[in-house]
Structure 1
Amino acid sequence: MKIEKVRDLTLIELEKGSTLVIACDSCGGIGLKEGDVLKVPPEVTGRYAARVVLLEVLCAGAEVVCLANAVCNEMKPTGQAVIRGIRTELELAEIEQVVLTGSTEENFATFATGLGITAVGVVETVRLRVNRCRAGLTVVAVGAPLVGAEVLQAQLVGYCTIRELLAHPGVYEMVPVGSKGILAEAKLLAACHELTFIPEQAVQIDMKKSAGPNTVILAAVDEQFLAKPVRHAALEVIGGFAAKK
């Protein structure tokens, strides 16, 4: 059994040519409890936490088979609301055959909302969409960096767009962008392939701003994609990959 860490993903190669893809995330202080910093319904907390790990697994080309939530609060009412939000996001992603499991805190009273979440996917190893970048590819950003209350007021990159990108022959690899921002993720993706990221001189999108719950997707693409990209209004070329000197 081969285990590999790639960016925020853990990959476990199984027998018979399959790979498990595991992604996890956590959030705290987002809810309706006394100590929460961002006051939103717990359903919202569950939705966007689920979005983060679902996109990580889907962008790797895997099918989500399990989603585990560790709610650091009581089941009623906070845990129930968080789970409703998770189910809503699964419906948006059109993921039906999935094991949903988790745990709550029933021993102590809590004063802030906390959630840990893990998604597990499976994919044929030959179809895994990681470690595919090379020099000469262009990097595009799909979506806009949003964080906090901004997320609630905007239309985010949809799961249909993710599937279109995965199906496009000109897309080599995709990376969701969260709190680290676009520039940091682009540099990390380049470093994973021993490449250098060369940013465009005049980029409109904010490359250093947090993208919250994966509100931006980076895609490494070739000329075929640039000639006929997927239909998405917020798509911008932000740079490219070059060989290290």
Structure 2
Amino acid sequence: MNGYSDLTFIDKKDGYMVIACDVSAGIGDREHDIIKLDPFKCGYYAAFVPVVELLSIRAKAEVFVNTLSVEYDPTAKKIIEGIREVMENSYGELPLTGSTEDNINTTFTSIGITIIAKISKEGANKVINPSKEFIEEIIDSKLYLVGKPKVGKEFLEEEIVGNAGECISLDAVIKLSDDKNNLVLLPIGSKGIAYEISVLEKRFGLQYHKNIEDDFKEDIDMKKSAGPSTAILVISKTRPDCFKYVVELGDFQYEKME
């Protein structure tokens, strides 16, 4: 069994089973939810995170599972509608199963999402066992930030309510995944850009060379949480053009020996 980012790989004869999961808690329309949000949108963004992780490695989802801390009707039904929209827009019609809490009258929202997917050995090896040739391609490429990291009320007020359009969209992630010029995609999580770059350094045995575009140097917080995968790192041969917020961050080279 291998891991990469927040994904788990289980070796099978014809490829790998990939498990992606995420949780959302305290966000919803119930009494004790900290951030108030429509249940449909709660479901959408809860599913968005693991879907982006799978699209990033070009894995094919097979089953979506939800575990919800709310009653089925009406709250869970709305959450499931949001999950279904992400699923169908990214992978089409798939089995969607799960469970709801219909015995206890809960006062806050909790959503667990698990997606079971598959990927070929060739596709998986690019991130869990990269070849020397693939690493050379990475060295000849640039690192880009696509989407602006936002979290919590900032994300709610600016993106969901304000429609600023600075955070990565599902459509943009699908386009990034489809473009073979993009060698590596890595969603940014709660630990921020710097942490995810360190993951890439360790994975490929390379050293990051920081070179942020002048217009964005004061705008980029390398340690800020990106909330529900509001931004993604892209190692690419060409500058991504599928989204309006794109920043070149530098590149990767072999580590210098002291």
2:179 corresponds to 1:175: no
2:37 corresponds to 1:37: no
Task: Measure the CA separation in 2 of the matches of 1:110 and 1:192.
Answer: 42
**Alignment correspondent of 1:62:** 59
The correspondence for 2:177, drawn from 166, 169, 178, is 166
**SS of aligned partner of 1:82:** helix
**Alignment correspondent of 1:116:** 112
**Alignment correspondent of 2:210:** 199
**Alignment correspondent of 1:140:** 144
Query: When the two structures are aligned, how many residues end up with a matched partner?
Result: 237
Give a deviation string over 1:185-210, Cα, whole Å, max 9, x none: 11222122232223225434332222
What TM-score, normalized by structure 2, do the two folds share?
A: 0.84
Native 8 Å contact 2:127 2:203 kept in 1: no
**Alignment correspondent of 2:234:** 219
> How far off its partner does 1:7 sit?
1.8
**SS of aligned partner of 1:35:** coil
Q: Percent identity, aligned pairs only? A: 33
Task: Measure the CA separation in 1 of the matches of 2:89 and 2:228.
Answer: 15
| Residues 236 and 191 (structure 1), Cα distance of their counterparts in 2 relative to 1, 3 Å cut | same
**SS of aligned partner of 2:127:** coil
**SS of aligned partner of 1:10:** strand
Query: Moved runs in structure 1, 4+ residues, more than 4 A?
Result: none
Q: Which has the higher helix share?
A: 2
Task: Measure the CA separation in 2 of the matches of 1:101 and 1:50.
Answer: 13
**Alignment correspondent of 1:80:** 77
> How far off its partner does 1:67 sit?
0.9
Give a deviation string over 1:32-75, Cα, whole Å, max 9, x none: 11110000111111100100011111111111111111101221
Task: Measure the CA separation in 2 of the matches of 1:115 and 1:167.
Answer: 29
Letter in 2 for 1:181: G
> How far off its partner does 1:239 sit?
2.2
What TM-score, normalized by structure 1, do the two folds share?
A: 0.88
Task: Measure the CA separation in 1 of the matches of 2:86 and 2:177.
Answer: 19
| Residues 31 and 167 (structure 1), Cα distance of their counterparts in 2 relative to 1, 3 Å cut | closer
Give a deviation string over 1:62-96, Cα, whole Å, max 9, x none: 11111111101221222112111111222333x22
> How far off its partner does 1:9 sit?
0.6
> How far off its partner does 1:108 sit?
1.9
Native 8 Å contact 1:65 1:97 kept in 2: no
**Alignment correspondent of 1:92:** 89
Native 8 Å contact 1:36 1:113 kept in 2: yes
Native 8 Å contact 2:176 2:242 kept in 1: no
Task: Measure the CA separation in 1 of the matches of 2:184 and 2:201.
Answer: 11
**Alignment correspondent of 1:23:** 20
Question: Greater shift after overlay, 198-207 or 78-87?
Answer: 198-207
| Residues 157 and 191 (structure 1), Cα distance of their counterparts in 2 relative to 1, 3 Å cut | same
**SS of aligned partner of 2:8:** strand
Letter in 2 for 1:96: G
Give a deviation string over 1:1-34, Cα, whole Å, max 9, x none: xx11112110112112x22221111111000111
2:244 corresponds to 1:233: yes
Structure 2 unaligned segments of length 5 or more: list them: none
How well do the aligned residues superpose, as a CA RMSD in angstroms? Answer: 2.0
Task: Measure the CA separation in 2 of the matches of 1:85 and 1:164.
Answer: 21
Task: Measure the CA separation in 2 of the matches of 1:231 and 1:79.
Answer: 33
2:64 corresponds to 1:71: no
Letter in 1 for 2:185: M
| Residues 167 and 92 (structure 1), Cα distance of their counterparts in 2 relative to 1, 3 Å cut | closer
Task: Measure the CA separation in 2 of the matches of 1:20 and 1:230.
Answer: 31
Q: Which has the higher strand share?
A: 1
Task: Measure the CA separation in 2 of the matches of 1:73 and 1:165.
Answer: 35
